[in-house]
Amino acid sequence: MLKLTGNRDVCVLGAGVMGLSVALQIRQALPELNVTIVADRFGTETTSDGAAGLWEPYKLDETPANKINVWGQETYDYLQDLYFSEHAAAAGVTTVAAYQLWSEPHDDPPWKDVVPHFRYLAAKELQPFAAAGGCQYALGWCFTTIICEQRIYLPWLLYKVLRSGVTLQHSSIKALSELSGYSLVVNCTGIGAARLFGDTEMYPVRGHVIRVRAPWIKSNYFVDESNYIIPQSDTVVLGGTAQRGDTDLQPREEDRQHIWQGCLRMMPSLAQAKPEREWVGLRPGRKSVRLEYEEIETEAGKLLRVVHNYGHGGGGVTLSWGCAREVVALVQQALS
């Protein structure tokens, strides 16, 4: 039991994969707290909803490898447990073989011991990819990873959040003084943190994906962090772009061409795939993920206790459960 020094009301600001994971874990670990999720976007309007949900620490810049490995491992283990549970289908969690190919020599990924079955591809295994694309690959590796399909997982998670007693409030926060009624705020605003918290270290990383019908594609493929193929239950996600500082949410023809041509080179059978829809989202880029406690003086001169949890770039799903666990520890410390 927490010995509370203030009221029991905690606000989780944001309803993407981070906000929902945090809200649920606070209620599970600290049931004496009242939790309200405040957000101006829920469900399909969030960045999280557009993500394919592949476990892979992507575009995390200078976030220390040891942090990524701890948060990533905890999330991997949690998702793997879900996969082996009766909830796998309802939660949209599955496992896939992942193949990553590099045209130039490349360092090992720092997270290679987090995933099972990591190994380098032999020359004869690279050969079919090279033949399909009419190119040479210097290196490739494969491993088993998890897809946590966000369009299925987020509604499932929201249901669990509501069942745990969390309240939802649909509003857009313009000033931190609007939150001063809470004993603590967990900041899970993603790209929104730049404006609301004046974080100048944040930058958007624009991502364009195309979803196609190609039910014969069952594995994940990645080339040079440039093009990727991620199977989902109903479609296959083809990517992608990673344009730093670009906030244009409209799909562009040159990106469409880059995605199609790049993915076709990897997997020529995609020429038979039927395009379904496309989407552009902004990854919440930051030099390093921000997960820490801060006391902020609001515009109205009041002290606001905040636990920050944002800036997860292209790996928010991958780190979600592990980050939420660390948030809970910080909340407990701050309120004790």
Ligand X SMILES: Cc1cc2nc3c(=O)[nH]c(=O)nc-3n(C[C@H](O)[C@H](O)[C@H](O)COP(=O)(O)OP(=O)(O)OC[C@H]3O[C@@H](n4cnc5c(N)ncnc54)[C@H](O)[C@@H]3O)c2cc1C
Parallel, antiparallel, or unpaired: how do β-strands 290-297 and 167-170 relate? Answer: unpaired
Residue bearing tokens 């394919």? 52
Find the binder of ligand X among 25, 183, 189, 232 (CB under 6 A).
189
SS3 of residue 111 by DSSP: coil
**Residue 59 CB, nearest distance to ligand X (Å)?**
8
Tell me if 231 contacts ligand X by CB under 6 A: no
Find the binder of ligand X among 30, 33, 157, 173 (CB under 6 A).
173
Alpha helices in 105-219 (DSSP H): 123-133, 150-163, 193-196
Q: Which is nearer to ligand X, 126 or 313 (CB)?
A: 313
* Contact stretch for ligand X (CB under 6 A) within 130-138, 268-276, 297-305, 315-323: 315-323
Tell me if 316 contacts ligand X by CB under 6 A: yes
| Tokens found for residue 248 | 């244009």
Find the binder of ligand X among 69, 183, 220, 318 (CB under 6 A).
318
Find the binder of ligand X among 91, 209, 229, 327 (CB under 6 A).
209
Q: Is the dihedral of CA 131, 106, 54, 261 positive or negative?
A: negative
In order of 12, 180, 304, the CA distances from 9 in angstroms are 10, 11, 13
SS3 of residue 99 by DSSP: strand
DSSP state of 54: B
Tell me if 41 contacts ligand X by CB under 6 A: yes
| Window 52-71: contact mask with ligand X (x via CB under 6 A) | xxx-----------------
* Contact stretch for ligand X (CB under 6 A) within 43-51, 63-71, 211-219, 322-330: 43-51
Task: Residue 139: name the closest of 104, 109, 97, 99 by CA.
Answer: 104
CA 246 to chain centre: 19
Peptide bond into 240 cis (omega under 30): yes
Tell me if 310 contacts ligand X by CB under 6 A: yes
**Residue 127 CB, nearest distance to ligand X (Å)?**
28
SS3 of residue 32 by DSSP: coil
Tell me if 284 contacts ligand X by CB under 6 A: yes
Find the binder of ligand X among 24, 30, 51, 291 (CB under 6 A).
51
Tell me if 210 contacts ligand X by CB under 6 A: no
Parallel, antiparallel, or unpaired: how do β-strands 119-120 and 9-13 relate? Answer: unpaired
| Window 104-123: contact mask with ligand X (x via CB under 6 A) | --------------------
Find the binder of ligand X among 24, 27, 46, 111 (CB under 6 A).
46
- Distance, in Å, from the CA atom of 189 to the CA atom of 193, rounded to the nearest integer, reads 5
Q: Which residues bind ligand X (CB under 6 A)?
A: 13-19, 38-41, 46-48, 50-54, 172-173, 188-192, 196, 207, 209, 240, 281, 283-284, 310, 312-318
